[in-house]
Amino acid sequence: MRYTIGELARAANTRVQTIRWYEQKGLMPCPERTQGGQRRYDEAALRRLKFIRHGRELGFALADIAALLSLQDDPQAPCRKAHEIAESQLADIRGKIARLQALEKELQNMLCPRPDGTSATCKVIEVLANHALCLHGRH
């Protein structure tokens, strides 16, 4: 089974350009080409693309995914590195969740009263104008 780039994109729920971009960045291998120069992919390419997309859905940076792919390519490689990458990603996600929950609270607070009146009495604008949010760390 050989895929055109468009078929591969549909199969992995991605865009055509994204695949070409991964190729340019070295995450996807340069595939075979037809005589006319069009890319043709195989099953292995589809698996690799899904791996990348799944990693992206989990919030991994492309550099991290590249590292995980090279670990995957070498079955002898120690797992510790992959573990470290995933662990730091988990810590990152937990930080983001905590931060977003604080934002959620403050926004809820803004939205308590009815959305009537003029901006002079608007709580949304009042909150933004008067309170400083103290969130430690960066997003």
- Residue 128 contact partner, candidates a copy of itself, DNA, none, CB within 5 to 8 A by sort of partner: a copy of itself
Nearest to 48 by CA among 79, 84, 8: 8
Helix (H, G, I), strand (E, B) or coil at 112: coil
Q: Closer CB to a copy of itself, residue 37 or residue 75?
A: 75
Main-chain dihedrals φ then ψ at residue 32, nearest 5 degrees: -55, 160
- Residue 137 contact partner, candidates a copy of itself, DNA, none, CB within 5 to 8 A by sort of partner: none
Please, what is the minimum distance in Å from the beta carbon of residue 90 to DNA?
16
**Side chain identity, residue 41:** Y
Please, what is the minimum distance in Å from the beta carbon of residue 6 to DNA?
2
Q: Give yes or no for a contact between 41 and 8, defined as CB atoms under 8 angstroms apart.
A: yes
Q: Give yes or no for a contact between 96 and 104, defined as CB atoms under 8 angstroms apart.
A: no
Please, what is the minimum distance in Å from the beta carbon of residue 34 to a copy of itself?
29
- Residue 6 contact partner, candidates DNA, a copy of itself, none, CB within 5 to 8 A by sort of partner: DNA
| Chain mean position to CA 41 | 24
15 binds a copy of itself (CB under 8 A): no
Q: Closer CB to a copy of itself, residue 37 or residue 80?
A: 80
Q: How would you class 132 by CB atoms within 10 Å of its CB: exposed for 0-12, middle for 13-18, buried for 19 or more?
A: exposed
- Residue 93 contact partner, candidates a copy of itself, DNA, none, CB within 5 to 8 A by sort of partner: a copy of itself
Q: Closer CB to DNA, residue 114 or residue 139?
A: 139
CB neighbourhood size of 22 (10 A): 21
